[in-house]
Amino acid sequence: MKIWIDADAAPRDVKDVVFRAANRMSVDTVLVANQRIGIPANAETVSMVTVREGADVADRYIVMHSEPGDLVITADIPLAALLVEKKVDVIDPRGEAYDRSNIASRLSMRDFMDDLRGAGVVTGGSRPYADRDKKAFANTFDRLLNRLLKN
């Protein structure tokens, strides 16, 4: 079992929660990004993979190397859809777990909003990351991590 973080856009709070859990439970954790991201010195089970620049390079790396039973943290809905298809557990930084029951509707909504933005409609974007998002993430992350470690 590994934890994968699509790290280019993951909030610092999310990484901190994951680093603490990875250390406490001795779970291998891999950050994947287009640029080097710092890892705390005491995060013995955490490693970093820097992929070359380019669209979706980090996503392809995660899809290629993750396995069923792994947990991926990403806000990228198309990446989440590929991982759910592969039977990898996925959670976003705001605490939403993606699975077969909800990924199609999330992907459809994402594509719809992308089409609106492409047509020039101002959609407002995401709200700022807040303490309630961190708490929701930590709760869902803890629940999924414990379930995966039991299996």
Look at residue 112 and tell me whether its pLDDT is greater than 70. Answer: no
For residues 118-125, give the mean pLDDT.
74
Instruction: Say what the pLDDT of residue 151 is.
Output: 83
Domain positions in the chain: 2-150
Q: How confident is the model at residue 104 (pLDDT cuts 50, 70, 90)?
A: confident
More confidently predicted of 40 and 28: 28
**Using an 8 Å Cβ cutoff, are 100 and 147 in contact?**
no
Q: Is the pTM of this model over 0.85?
A: yes
Structure confidence by residue, pLDDT tens digits, 14-24: 999 999 999 99
Look at residue 31 and tell me whether its pLDDT is greater than 90. Answer: yes
Instruction: Say what the pLDDT of residue 106 is.
Output: 77
Say how many residues make up the chain.
151
Domain 2-150 CATH assignment equals 3.30.420? no
For residues 66-89, give the mean pLDDT.
96
Q: Cα–Cα distance between 44 and 57 in angstroms, integer?
A: 26
- Expressed in angstroms, the distance from the first to the final Cα of the chain is 9
Both structure tokens of 107? 């992907």
